[in-house]
Structure 1
């Protein structure tokens, strides 16, 4: 559910995909978040153009991931419930083609079925399961929320404000949130020195 405060990354195919997700989480905006929020596919044909829907996200992607040229986000749906989204990127222009959105929806439905199967395996604690997202979820999202809680306590702020401060620091210093969260977790008072 990338459009909520409890966003979690379940899988990233490579470092670029991981950084795209981290940037959406840092900025709080982007195609995956929009897709999950309204359950509609999102098409970004050329990332070198600032998208008016998410100007900060577009700018940061252009600066940090210049190899990313196009994005697609498809909702992962179970019944009428949007569970999240699948975000795809390409390193070349990706003009919209007839039928592409429907193909993306079908692929995202297959992902939803796979997630249900994995969830069943995790619930049964099946030792043969091939994929367990808990480590990635904690490393990239859980640690950030814990750091926000620690910083909130240190600064006497609401956790939501502390998370905004962490996001702002991550963007202004070009530091991925997980790395910044680890620093804060080791020494919340060190925040004042940064």
Structure 2
């Protein structure tokens, strides 16, 4: 834990210095050991329409990440869309199940979630998501330290990403598990809204999230509604309300 030894920034910096091929696992291990998490995942975005899972520490981490994609909602998705850290201090809201998010049903035993956005000038680069199954104190100072460590991780990922993404190379630097289908639908909807409203894609993504919350729908359902072909709705016209509404 942070108070008992070197900082997470120190640990992540050391992990980043040891070889590129094992970089995802080394970075995730540094975060889990320093912050006391039990599971971790790391995802990379080669472009906005792709989401590649670089590393999952175990089956529990893989299930937790898959649950968020199934609902197109959760800390990993929100951290990526909003380019900010998302901390869920109590996944199940103590004993009140009525306020628990849908994705939490698929995360049995997970108490806290910390999703660290890897971004540059609000452009998503990736996400490191940490899952805690034991009660863990994560004060604001520890989260701030983790964000600084995430910046170190981001720079190392960006340093090696060209080699990873080069199709002419003999093989990728890191093996990946792509989970792009839902992400691609979200970004197609955002692109449609952005073009219609003449606004940045980031603003369109934020509007879609707000709209899904207002309508009590999943983000994916809202995006699918936007992407309905002409004629599928009453009046025969696909419509995206103004982003500012």
TM-score normalised according to structure 1 size? 0.58
In 2, Cα distance between equivalents of 1:68 and 1:38: 23
1:108 deviation in Å? 1.5
Q: For structure 2, which runs of at least 5 residues remain unmatched after alignment?
A: 1-44, 185-219, 225-245
In 2, Cα distance between equivalents of 1:42 and 1:74: 7
Call closer, same or farther: CA 1:120–1:5 in 2, change over 3 Å.
Answer: closer
Match of 1:34 in 2: 78
In 2, Cα distance between equivalents of 1:5 and 1:56: 24
Determine whether 1:8 maps to 2:52: yes
Alignment of 1:92-107 (within 5 A): 92-107=134-149
Match of 2:103 in 1: 57
In 1, Cα distance between equivalents of 2:160 and 2:175: 8
User: What SS does the corresponding residue of 1:96 show, helix, strand or coil?
Assistant: coil
Match of 1:66 in 2: 108
In 1, Cα distance between equivalents of 2:49 and 2:180: 10
Structure having the higher helix fraction is: 1
CA RMSD in angstroms comes to 3.2
Contact 1:75 1:84 in 2 (8 A): yes
TM-score normalised according to structure 2 size? 0.47
Determine whether 1:85 maps to 2:85: no
User: What SS does the corresponding residue of 2:117 show, helix, strand or coil?
Assistant: strand
Alignment of 1:17-166 (within 5 A): 17-49=61-93, 52=99, 55-58=101-104, 60-61=105-106, 65-122=107-164, 123=166, 125=169, 131-133=174-176, 136-137=177-178, 140-141=179-180
Contact 2:91 2:113 in 1 (8 A): yes
Q: For structure 1, which runs of at least 5 residues remain unmatched after alignment?
A: 146-159, 165-194
